[in-house]
Amino acid sequence: MSSLHIYNSLTRQKELFVPISAPYVGLYVCGPTVYSDVHLGNVRTFSSFDMIYRYLVFSGYKVRYVRNITDAGHLTNERGEGVNRMESQAKLESLEPMEIVQKYTVGFRDICNLFHLKPPTIEPTATGHILEQIEMIETLIHNGFAYEINGSVYFDVKAFNAKHTYGELSGRNIDELIAGYRDLDGQDEKRNSIDFALWKAASPAHIMQWKSPWGMGFPGWHLECSAMSTKYLGKQFDIHGGGMDLKFPHHECEIAQNVGSCGMAPVRYWMHTNMLNFNGQKMSKSLGNSILPIELITGNHALLDKAYSPMSVKFLFLQSHYSSELDINIKGLQDAEKGLKKLMDARANALLVKGQSMVETEIDKSIVALAALCKANMDDDFNTAKTIATLFEMATIVNSLKDGNIKDDQVSPSSIGMLQQTFETYLIDVFGLSPLTENQDEKLDDVLQILIQIRKEAKVKKDFATSDRIRNELLEKGIQLKDEKDGNVSWSL
């Protein structure tokens, strides 16, 4: 049985992870709203869930990982007012709303590739699931938890709360919420200011709209996640995740919609990742303090002293627990870059060192204990920070072996295998880091200089078969070697 424990935001405690039907695990993560470029804050959240997904797979689970694309009906105000973000961005960029959706969906996937984030197993879009959303609204109306007015449909929070509980996840009380909203709202067609939109009637000018039993309109944002998680993972599934800022109202409303339509709490373990801050403030597009991935890799941002690889920033993320706030600054990035290099070097060196002992030694015992500790750390609510600290301890052993401070006969071959395997498992498979921390062009140049040198030596020995072969085979790959007048050789793509 697995010993994985997860901090459940709903019960506010760490619990043993027991899937509904092991080895299958259903994981739903709220995806991006595709009306602008994702920033590093968004990347932190998606990286955290990538690590969680990878660790579940590593632990032997068969995971159905659903992450949606919000491409419709996300209003600037979560209570169902304001403007549709896709439409306003479309006007700004003189594009069709669906061109905005396509542009930023492709951009998001490029960023995921750049940061080595695995694609979800299902990536459904809100616009592709209008029928499912309409059906859920009809059920909610039928069950007495939603009402139609002027072509819009709202969730009736008070009616729901009379039979179930609203506010459990975020620990909010509905009377306080109503009191808080009253001042802000003014006149409203809703029965109560706390009610939220399931469907909004659209004016003829509104571009993104669909036919429904209540007239032309578009769905509320919270509804899509309820409809799509139910469709692909069932009425009850294992893990639902998202950034901390989505806990209220988004996830609270999701729970109410699911309970109201399916009669049961949808999620066994709610997981919330914490925010990436910049100068102590949540990084966000609207606050104007966001760093885009392109700014990171070009170094073209006021915060940055130079370009950083996506792997360095990912390592920075992993050095803190997913549920802790993290402030991004140059010192942190510099340290992360150095730390990642140190571990990647240890991983490479672990392949070069040897063990000769035929009996178990003290060093063997430490290696076995450290490998077990990596797993224990990860099983303790995915504690990547502690796992990295443990990998640094293993790196120290590798360096001592390399420098001769630990001799070959003080360690057995199987422990060397364990060192190699542990680096591979955590750095590559679970954390999704890449050994290529340096500029890829520099690496290519390094490799070509080796080939150029071998070709030179072949020529000196009059081994023209080898020298020609190097030139011709590189040419077939689109790389041209040029013999310069001064005897040097240059290359071009």
Q: How far is CA 433 from the centre of its chain?
A: 13
Closest CB to ligand AMP among residues 214, 308: 308
The interface region with Zn ion, picked from 30-38, 155-163, 195-203, 408-416 by CB under 5 A, is 30-38
Find the shortest distance in angstroms from Cβ 477 to ligand AMP. Answer: 40
225 contact, one of ligand AMP, Zn ion, none, CB 5-8 Å limit per kind: Zn ion
**Cis check: omega of the bond before 310, within 30 degrees of 0:** no
Size of the chain, expressed as the number of residues it contains: 493
Closest CB to ligand AMP among residues 267, 371: 267
32 contact, one of ligand AMP, Zn ion, none, CB 5-8 Å limit per kind: ligand AMP
Largest interatomic CA distance in the chain? 92
Map residue 134 onto helix, strand or coil: helix
Residue nearest to ligand AMP (CB): 243
Is 30 among the residues that bind Zn ion (CB under 5 A)? yes
Find the shortest distance in angstroms from Cβ 109 to Zn ion. Answer: 18
| Residues 198-227: x where in contact with Zn ion by CB under 5 A, - otherwise, as a string | ---------------------------x--
Class of residue 46 by CB neighbours under 10 A (exposed 0-12, middle 13-18, buried 19+) = buried
Closest CB to ligand AMP among residues 104, 160: 104
Find the shortest distance in angstroms from Cβ 279 to ligand AMP. Answer: 12
Closest CB to ligand AMP among residues 253, 418: 253
Alpha-carbon distance of 32 to 46, in angstroms, equals 9
Find the shortest distance in angstroms from Cβ 320 to ligand AMP. Answer: 12
Q: Which residues bind ligand AMP (CB under 6 A)?
A: 30, 32-33, 41-42, 44-45, 242-243, 245-246, 275-276, 282-284
Map residue 483 onto helix, strand or coil: strand
Alpha-carbon distance of 88 to 5, in angstroms, equals 43
Are the beta carbons of 68 and 30 closer than 8 angstroms? yes
283 contact, one of Zn ion, ligand AMP, none, CB 5-8 Å limit per kind: ligand AMP
257 contact, one of ligand AMP, Zn ion, none, CB 5-8 Å limit per kind: none
Q: Read off the tokens for 474.
A: 């590189």
Are the beta carbons of 388 and 319 closer than 8 angstroms? yes
Q: H or E segment at 384?
A: helix 384-403
Of 345, 148, 156, 386, nearest in space to 261 by CA: 156
List residues binding Zn ion (CB under 5 A).
30, 225
